[in-house]
Amino acid sequence: MKTGYKYKLAALFSAFLLLGLGVMILGQKVDAAPPSGGSVAGTVKLDGTAPHERSIDMSKEPSCAKEHASNPVKVESVVVGSNGGLQNVVVYVTQGLSGNEANSTQMQTWDQKGCQYIPHVIALNPGQHFKVVNSDQTSHNIHPQPKNNSEWNKSQPPGSQPFDVTWANPEVAINVKCNIHPWMHGYMAVVKGPYAVSDNSGDFKLEGLAPGSYTLTAWQEEYGTQTQKVTVAAGKPAAVNFTFKAK
């Protein structure tokens, strides 16, 4: 074999290699950009009468009891709005994601105010940062109890600095409690891809979905999960409604 031919072959090979690498890098860039256009909007409703939620007695924590003197707090396991809309339902994608969706970098807040978690339910991507804040005049201990992530338990006395946390692995949903105030309960849902938490009229909107077909899952802390299939096109939001049956 002539040496010239060998060099040609090597040059051709490296050219292909470079081209391949270029395509890979460009491809990644395209994936990292926010997926175009599509979205899903809808409402979560409760079918039937909402369960009677008992009031929370905060007399052991006078500073918090004072805050709710005129408006007693109830257990938040099922929160229903006036039109039957179900609040605090996490809606996320369980099938159809490309796997290249970038995790959200938006900072979320997990506040402890009036001896309640505000919000009661948050949704996050793996690795998405959230800030734990104590707005109360009393100490709390923040004690998430994950199964698929590492559990921790930290004290946060009044006036102390917020701290920043992330969860590494998807998990629906991590139960969070405060041992000092046993009525305090909340959930953190860690999911891949776009997510939404229904508001006080049960409305939600999932954004940043590339056109295609997906399976959506709605999770409610009392009623568990429901799934629905949806096809998303660019432009107009696809409509999906979930209805949970009251127990």
Binding site for other proteins (CB under 8 A): 60, 138-139, 141-143, 145, 150-157, 160-161, 163, 179-182
Handedness of CA 10, 16, 18, 24 (dihedral sign): negative
With 0-12 / 13-18 / 19 or more C-beta atoms within 10 angstroms meaning exposed / middle / buried, residue 247 is exposed
Using the minimum distance from each CB to other proteins, give the nearer residue, 111 or 199.
111
Q: Least CB distance from residue 157 to other proteins, whole Å?
A: 5
Using the minimum distance from each CB to other proteins, give the nearer residue, 138 or 225.
138
**Cα 15 to Cα 21: distance, rounded to the nearest angstrom:** 10
Using the minimum distance from each CB to other proteins, give the nearer residue, 36 or 161.
161
Q: Least CB distance from residue 54 to other proteins, whole Å?
A: 16
Q: Least CB distance from residue 165 to other proteins, whole Å?
A: 10
Q: Least CB distance from residue 149 to other proteins, whole Å?
A: 9
Can you tell me which residue has the tokens 């409604």?
Answer: 241
**Cα 218 to Cα 131: distance, rounded to the nearest angstrom:** 25
Q: Least CB distance from residue 45 to other proteins, whole Å?
A: 32
Using the minimum distance from each CB to other proteins, give the nearer residue, 14 or 109.
109
Contacts by 60-68 with C-beta closer than 8 Å and gap 24+?
60/181, 61/115, 61/138, 61/181, 63/136, 63/137, 63/138, 64/114, 64/115, 64/136, 64/138, 64/181, 67/114, 68/114
Using the minimum distance from each CB to other proteins, give the nearer residue, 41 or 180.
180
Measured CA angle at 210 (ends 126, 19), to 5 deg: 85
